Amino acid sequence: MANHPRLLILALVLVVAAFEEVLSTSVMGPRHRGGRELDECQLSRLNSLEPTNRIRCEAGTIESWDPNEDEFRCAGVTVVRHIIEPNGLLLPSYTNAPQLIYIVEAV
């Protein structure tokens, strides 16, 4: 008779643990980004990459890097650089994703 409460408690703990695992996987999604596991994204060193695309415009140059490079894919980012010539104009645009924008002014 004394073993039944212990088995009941053990069964409840296992059910709660299984429910928590199912809930965390369904609500938060799997732990991967871009088809790769997040645990695989341990880079031993970072490389200085050159832009893969260069577009010359009236007011300057637009450079972009390949988002499928390991460094960018693991970080989940895309990199674009706008080089604006003096008296050039870059019109505002809308992006439905977070952006980090910084301005470097040559002296």
Q: What is the pLDDT along the chain (107 residues), one digit of tens a residue?
A: 455 667 667 666 666 666 666 555 555 555 554 555 555 777 787 888 999 999 999 999 999 999 998 888 888 899 999 999 998 999 988 989 888 888 887 65
**Model-wide pTM > 0.85:** no
Torsions phi, psi for 65 (to 5 deg): -110, 155
Give Cα separations from 49 to 40, 64, 90, 103 (angstroms).
21, 11, 25, 20
Amino acid, single-letter form, for residue 57 = C
Please state the domain extents for the chain.
3-30, 53-84
